[in-house]
A and B are shown apart, each in its own frame.
Chain A
Amino acid sequence: MSFILRRLVFYLVAAWVALTVNFFIPRAMPGNAVQSIMSKFPNLQPAAYRALEAMLGVGHPGSIWHQYGSYLVDVFHFNFGTDVSQYPASVSTLLGETIPWTLTLVGSATVIAFLLGTVLGIVAGWRHGGSLDRVLPGLMFLQAIPYFFFALILLELLASKFHVFPLGQGYAQGLIPGWHWDFISSAIYHSLLPALTIVLTSVAGWMLQMRNVMITTIGEDYVIAAQAKGLPNRRVVFTYAARNALLPQLQGFGLALGFVVSGALVMEIVFSYPGIGLLLLNAVTSNDYPLMQAIFLVITFAVLLANLVVDMIIVFADPRARAGEAAS
């Protein structure tokens, strides 16, 4: 079995764990979820009790294994039930409306931050002790700021005070979403500040990690040999040192993805950006448990998928991995 197939199996196991945890949380929690929803919405009729039970999957007939089976089938068909707060709408419709926003913003901003941080890290590692090292403490400070607080500050400065960027939302009011230039340009304009927040807060982490791996790699014999051969510096840095330093960096990227996505979700709330983060906030404030659980599953699956892509890039970039692929 090749490496990628094995990783795929691993991610399937992880997805199954997430699904199972998600299934058992409402059942294992102390107290009655249905009862707590009933008490939070006093205007609900007693007849709604049954409906809520069915929606949360608590009152399903049959044994727990039977419930588990039908739950897995439901998830497989993207059937996450109906929504509590926006009643007739199904959860999957709500998710379908918000996912594209988050995917474009968080996805592209994270990739940009990763690439930028890696390049800066290469330079900082190569010129160890140079001017880039001197801004490191500042970068660490930037890294320690919570995403959403940095977003608040940027909003205050760039949108409230100087009106360079709009005050949140995904597009200008009055525009109808669609594939026409007015809407697209407005959406891009509105996404600039959130994207800037993600890039500025996460670039430091990638840069620090790449710098440290670079410093270690530059000490290796083959790098010294390449320099002794008289190869131009650019070739030594990028082909010899950076290419090898990139692999731990890529593995770290896969592992840190969950953190970055979580931070970005909270940041969306500050910008009232119409993505999954804002949907999650609405779910929390209205105690919309089915929606919360569905969002958890969707985010987990997205992160697992992204990790699989990272693994593919690792195989592509690492000759050792390719040798392993060919051997088995």
Chain B
Amino acid sequence: MTLFAFVFSVLMSAGSLAYAYNTAGFVMLARYVLVFAALWLFAGWKRWTWFSAIVLLLSLALAGFGLWVELSPGWMISGALGGLLAWDLTAFMRRLRFAARTDDLRGLERRHLARLTIVALAGVFLASIAMLVRLEFTFEWVVLLTLIAGLGITQLVSWLRRGGE
């Protein structure tokens, strides 16, 4: 189940990015993305868990670059999200290797995939809304709002890490 989800995530990420870049005329880059996807699957098979962090970084960079050069935002978000999911599933598959044969592996997998799906859907939904709702701000307002958002996230993360006291 997890392996299937991992392969699907890799294909979703690489397919989205490659398709968008190919359509926009970046044919060589699209080919490199596909080659990298094959390498990604190979790394998953060989259990090179460190590779997933590189791939996550790369998929986000490609998605960011794609948005910068005005490629379709939907494909780019899909590519970034696929990278995130594959990164998570690689770590989860590694974690599952610690389980004993008698442990409830299916239950663990089911719960993890359900939560991951909810998070992915929520991410896509909120990102889509953010793409659709375009408000006009001055540059100063954008900087201010971004800084406030960054500080807010930092505060929230530190509060959650402290245990929500």
Do A and B come together as binding partners? Answer: no
Chain A residues proximal to chain B, CB less than 8 Å: none
Chain B residues proximal to chain A, CB less than 8 Å: none
